[in-house]
C-alpha cells in the first residue's frame, strides 16, 4: 500500500475540527484507519463500498451498458444511495464518480447534493490523464488529515474523463467547487453544498 | 548411578487387586455414543474442546440450528447457525461464527463477527469485524476493529463511557490528530508526486 498527501483531504478535515458530532459518509468501504480517524474526532461515520455496490448491480455483463438499464439503475440507487435528505455533514466519495455513465452520474450527484446539509463538504477525486485506457482503483483510507493510504483494487476503464469545466458543470448545484491538481494527474475536488 | 539405584528401589506399580473387582471395574475403551442422549444438544460431532468451552460458560448454537425469536444469554454465546430476532447478552460476548447467519438486533458486551450479521449492534465494550465477515447495520460501541477484507455497511457511533455526555464537545475532549511536518516527501517517500501543484476555485 502506498500513501499520498492530500490537500483536498486537508481542506475537508478543516470542517471536521470546526464542528463536533458530525455525520459523515464514506464510500470507500469500511476500514479501520478511516473509522478510527473520524470517530477519534468525535464524529459518526457511515460506511459503504460504492464500487462493490456498482459491481453487484452492473457487473453481470457490460458494466456501462448495464447502467442504462432502468431496473438495474433503480436497484443500484436503492442499495447505494437511499438516505434521507440532508442526512450527512460531509461525504467522501473518492474516485467512485468516475465509473458512472452520464445520466446515472447526474442522478447520483443530485442525490449526493440532496443528502448533504447546507455548507457541508464533499471530497471527490478524478484522474486528469486522458490518454489512458484504464486507471488504477483504490480503497482510500485516511491516515491523518493530510495523508491518504491507497489499498490497490485493480484497474478499471473510466466512464469519461473530466476537466475543470466539465466538473463545474457536473457540480452546478453546489455552492462552490475547488480543485487541487496534483502532480500525479489526479484532480482533488472539494465541493461545498 | 545413585539415581538408577533409587529407581531400582522404587516399589513396583500397584497391581490390580483381584479381590476387589466391584470397586475398580476393568477399564473399558471410551466409546462415543452414536446418538446424543440429550435432545437439547445442537452440536453434532463437536470436538472435545468445544464441550469444554461449553462447560466453561460458552454456549454454542451449531450450524444446523435455526432459531427465530429472542435470545437472552447470561453466558458467552457462539452462533454458527441461523438466528432471526433479537439477542441480548449485556455482560457477555457474542461470536457469530464463520457459518453463522444472524438477522437480529444485538446488545452485548462484546461482539465478534466472522460470518454474516444483519441488524443493529450495540456493545458496551467492543465489536470486532473479522476478515470475510459481513455486517449490515448500525453500530454503537466503545471500540471497533475492522479487519481488511470485511464488508460493513452502516453507521459507526463511538460511545465513550468516560466522556461527559452534554457539557464538553467531542472535538474538544478528543485530541486532534497531531499535525504532520510540512514535508510530505520526507514523511512518506511514495507520496512525492501527490503534492498540490495548482489550486483553482469557482464560487457561485
A173 CA to chain B: closest CA distance, Å?
Answer: 10
Dist. CA A60–CA A171, nearest whole Å: 30
**Residue A186 confidence (pLDDT):** 83
Q: Are the C-beta atoms of residues B44 and B32 closer than 8 Å to each other?
A: no
B35 has a pLDDT exceeding 70: no
* B178 contact residues in A (CB cutoff 8 A): 144
Interchain contact A144–B (C-beta under 8 A) = yes
The residue that leads in pLDDT, A36 or B56, is A36
Q: Is B191 close to A3, i.e. CB distance below 8 A?
A: yes
Domain limits of chain A? 2-192
Q: Is B171 close to A180, i.e. CB distance below 8 A?
A: no
The residue that leads in pLDDT, B7 or B78, is B78
Q: What is the mean pLDDT of residues A32-49?
A: 92
Dist. CA B84–CA B100, nearest whole Å: 11
**Residue B8 confidence (pLDDT):** 46
Mean pLDDT lowest among A89-98, B168-177, B194-203: B168-177
Q: What is the mean pLDDT of residues B79-96?
A: 95
Q: Is B153 close to A37, i.e. CB distance below 8 A?
A: no
Secondary structure of residue A158 in the 3-state scheme: coil
Chain B residue with Cα closest to A173: B204
B196 CA to chain A: closest CA distance, Å?
Answer: 5
> What percentage of chain A reaches a pLDDT higher than 90?
62
* B156 contact residues in A (CB cutoff 8 A): 30, 35, 39, 44-47
Interchain contact A11–B (C-beta under 8 A) = no
Which of B120, B151, B200, B203 should one mutate to test binding to chain A, selecting the residue with the greatest count of A CBs within 10 A? B200
Chain B residue with Cα closest to A24: B155
B87 has a pLDDT exceeding 80: yes
**Residue A92 confidence (pLDDT):** 96
**Residue A192 DSSP code:** E
* A145 contact residues in B (CB cutoff 8 A): 177, 179
Mean pLDDT lowest among A108-117, A142-151, B55-64: B55-64
Q: What is the mean pLDDT of residues B154-167?
A: 69
B170 has a pLDDT exceeding 80: no
Q: What is the CA radius of gyration of chain A?
A: 16
Q: Are the C-beta atoms of residues A15 and A120 closer than 8 Å to each other?
A: yes
Chain B residue with Cα closest to A175: B204
Q: Please, is B169 exposed, middle or buried when counting C-beta atoms within 10 Å of its C-beta (0-12, 13-18, 19+)?
A: middle
Residues B68-77: pLDDT tens digits?
Answer: 999 999 999 9
Of A74, A96, A76, A75, the closest CA to residue A25 belongs to: A96
Buried b (16+ CB within 10 A) or exposed e, B102-133: bebbbbbbbbbbbbbbbbbbbbeeebbbbeeb
Interchain contact B142–A (C-beta under 8 A) = no
Dist. CA A62–CA A75, nearest whole Å: 16
> What percentage of chain A reaches a pLDDT higher than 70?
100
* A7 contact residues in B (CB cutoff 8 A): 196, 199
Mean pLDDT lowest among A150-159, B129-138, B173-182: B173-182
Dist. CA B50–CA B85, nearest whole Å: 25
Dist. CA A82–CA A84, nearest whole Å: 7
Q: Is A2 close to B190, i.e. CB distance below 8 A?
A: yes
Cα distances from A114 to residues A3, A111, A168, in angstroms, run: 32, 5, 17
Q: What is the mean pLDDT of residues A58-66?
A: 91
Which residues numbered 34-73 in A keep a CB inside 8 Å of some CB on B? Answer: 35-37, 39-49, 52
**Residue A19 confidence (pLDDT):** 83
Dist. CA B64–CA B57, nearest whole Å: 21
Dist. CA B32–CA A5, nearest whole Å: 62
Reported ipTM: 0.85
Q: Are the C-beta atoms of residues B196 and A182 closer than 8 Å to each other?
A: yes
C-alpha cell at B167: 457539557
Q: Is B203 close to A176, i.e. CB distance below 8 A?
A: yes
**Residue A17 confidence (pLDDT):** 85
A16 has a pLDDT exceeding 80: yes
C-alpha cell at A82: 437511499
H or E element: which one contains A76? helix A70-80
What's chain A's average pLDDT?
Answer: 90
Q: Are the C-beta atoms of residues B54 and B72 closer than 8 Å to each other?
A: no
A61 CA to chain B: closest CA distance, Å?
Answer: 23
B194 has a pLDDT exceeding 50: no
The whole-model pTM stands at 0.72
Identify the architecture of domain A2-192 in CATH. 3-Layer(aba) Sandwich (3.40)
Q: What is the mean pLDDT of residues A122-135?
A: 86
Amino acid at each position: 500500500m502506498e500513501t499520498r498527501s492530500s490537500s483536498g483531504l486537508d481542506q475537508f478535515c478543516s470542517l471536521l475540527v470546526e464542528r463536533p458530532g458530525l455525520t459523515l459518509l464514506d464510500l470507500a468501504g469500511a476500514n479501520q484507519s478511516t473509522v478510527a480517524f473520524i470517530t477519534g474526532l468525535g464524529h459518526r461515520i457511515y460506511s459503504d463500498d460504492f464500487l462493490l455496490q456498482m459491481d453487484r448491480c452492473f457487473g453481470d455483463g457490460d458494466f456501462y451498458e448495464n447502467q442504462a438499464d432502468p431496473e438495474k439503475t433503480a436497484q443500484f440507487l436503492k442499495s447505494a444511495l437511499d438516505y434521507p435528505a440532508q442526512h450527512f455533514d460531509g461525504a467522501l466519495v473518492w474516485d467512485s464518480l468516475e465509473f458512472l455513465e452520464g445520466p446515472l452520474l447526474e442522478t447520483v450527484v443530485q442525490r449526493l447534493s440532496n443528502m448533504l446539509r447546507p455548507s457541508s463538504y464533499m471530497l471527490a477525486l478524478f484522474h486528469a490523464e486522458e490518454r489512458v485506457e484504464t486507471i488504477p482503483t483504490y480503497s482510500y483510507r485516511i491516515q491523518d488529515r493530510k495523508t491518504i493510504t491507497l489499498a490497490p483494487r485493480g484497474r478499471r476503464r473510466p466512464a469519461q474523463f473530466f476537466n475543470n469545466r466539465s466538473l463545474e458543470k457536473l457540480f452546478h448545484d453546489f455552492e462552490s467547487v475547488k480543485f487541487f491538481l496534483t502532480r500525479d494527474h489526479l484532480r482533488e475536488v472539494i465541493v461545498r453544498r | 548411578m545413585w539415581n538408577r539405584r533409587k529407581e531400582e528401589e522404587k516399589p513396583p506399580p500397584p497391581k490390580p487387586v483381584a479381590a476387589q473387582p466391584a470397586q475398580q471395574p476393568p477399564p473399558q475403551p471410551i466409546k462415543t455414543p452414536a446418538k446424543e442422549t440429550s435432545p437439547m444438544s445442537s452440536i453434532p460431532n463437536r470436538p472435545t474442546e468445544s464441550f469444554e468451552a461449553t462447560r466453561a460458560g460458552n454456549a454454542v448454537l451449531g450450524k444446523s440450528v435455526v432459531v427465530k425469536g429472542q435470545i437472552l444469554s447470561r453466558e458467552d454465546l457462539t452462533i454458527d447457525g441461523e438466528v432471526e430476532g433479537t439477542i441480548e447478552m449485556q455482560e457477555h460476548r457474542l461470536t457469530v461464527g464463520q457459518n453463522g447467519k444472524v438477522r437480529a438486533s444485538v446488545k452485548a458486551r462484546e461482539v465478534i463477527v466472522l460470518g454474516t450479521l444483519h441488524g443493529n449492534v450495540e456493545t458496551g465494550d467492543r465489536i470486532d469485524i473479522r476478515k470475510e465477515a459481513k455486517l449490515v447495520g448500525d453500530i454503537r460501541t466503545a471500540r471497533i476493529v475492522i479487519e481488511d477484507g470485511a464488508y460493513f455497511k452502516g453507521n459507526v457511533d463511538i460511545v465513550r463511557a468516560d466522556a461527559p455526555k452534554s457539557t464538553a464537545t467531542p472535538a474538544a475532549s478528543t485530541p486532534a490528530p497531531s499535525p504532520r511536518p510540512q514535508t510530505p516527501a520526507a514523511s512518506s517517500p511514495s507520496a512525492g508526486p501527490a503534492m498540490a501543484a495548482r489550486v483553482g476555485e469557482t464560487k457561485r
